[in-house]
Amino acid sequence: MTGRNTGAPGAGSRPVLIITLVLAVFLACLAGCGGSGQEHSDRPAAQATGQDHTGTPPVTETKEDATMDDLSKTTATKRALFTTDKGKIEVELYPELMPVTVANFEKLVTQNFYDGLTFHRVEDWVIQGGDPNGNGTGGPGWTIKLETHPRLKNVRGALAMARTRDLNSAGSQFYILKTDAPWLDGQYAVFGRVVRGMDIVDQIAIGDKMQKVEMIQ
């Protein structure tokens, strides 16, 4: 009995020692894994920095671009209708954001200036019209000062004023974009966008006429 009792504590100490060692190894491993987890937590920040460095727009800018779809909810608008050889194109104008440009366009429309003029320039990304000479050299006899607004972008469907190298040389010629052209932002007066008839814009060919342009709202 005594021998057995003497042996029992000895045999019992080994499991305790083993458990202690295992526990120590486990704690050491746990500490190491915790350090690894912290390294992982740094990676998204590094990736985000890399994306910004490569020029990927921040989320806020992407949302700002998209707000062109919601401008009618936050600013006053007017509407004009182009009746062309290919069909009707309805545009939304932003007089609060671009007062000089919209007033100039509306003046030309009410004077029937655009009626019968052609689209003299058509490319895979843009159409352009509003020149009484029909070749890109004409205008109404005056020019207006360049206006821009950070909420108005050169995106598909944007309506903007064409000009020469002189920033303040826009008169009557305008363009409508068929694709996004962000390199034009801040350089040209975007004052509206197409709300109906982008399929017609895509069909316009050189020489197609604007049979009638009218304010409808």
In the predicted structure, residue 33 carries a pLDDT above the cut 60: no
In the predicted structure, residue 37 carries a pLDDT above the cut 80: no
In the predicted structure, residue 20 carries a pLDDT above the cut 60: no
Q: What is the DSSP string of the chain?
A: -HHHHHHHHHHHHHHHHHHHHHHHHHHHHHHHHHHHHHHHHHHHHHHHHHHHHTTPPPHHHHHHHHGGGGHHHHS--EEEEEEETTEEEEEEE-TTTSHHHHHHHHHHHHTT-STT-BEEEE-SSEEEE--TTSSS---SS--B-----TT----TTEEEE---SSTT-BSS-EEEESS--GGGTTTS-EEEEEEE-HHHHHH--TT-BEEEEEE--
Q: How much is the average pLDDT of 137-157?
A: 97
Tens-place pLDDT, residues 108-140: 999 999 999 999 999 999 999 999 999 999 999
pLDDT of amino acid 28:
52
CATH for 65-215? 2.40.100.10
Tens-place pLDDT, residues 158-188: 999 999 999 999 999 999 999 999 999 999 9
Strands laid side by side in the 210-215 sheet: 119-122, 126-129, 174-177, 158-161, 190-196, 87-93, 78-84, 210-215
pLDDT of amino acid 55:
30
At residue 217 the predicted structure's pLDDT band, cuts being 50, 70 and 90, is: confident
In the predicted structure, residue 103 carries a pLDDT above the cut 70: yes
Q: Write down the domain spans for the chain.
A: 1-56, 65-215
At residue 19 the predicted structure's pLDDT band, cuts being 50, 70 and 90, is: low
pLDDT of amino acid 21:
58
| pTM of the predicted model as reported, rounded to 2 decimal places | 0.70
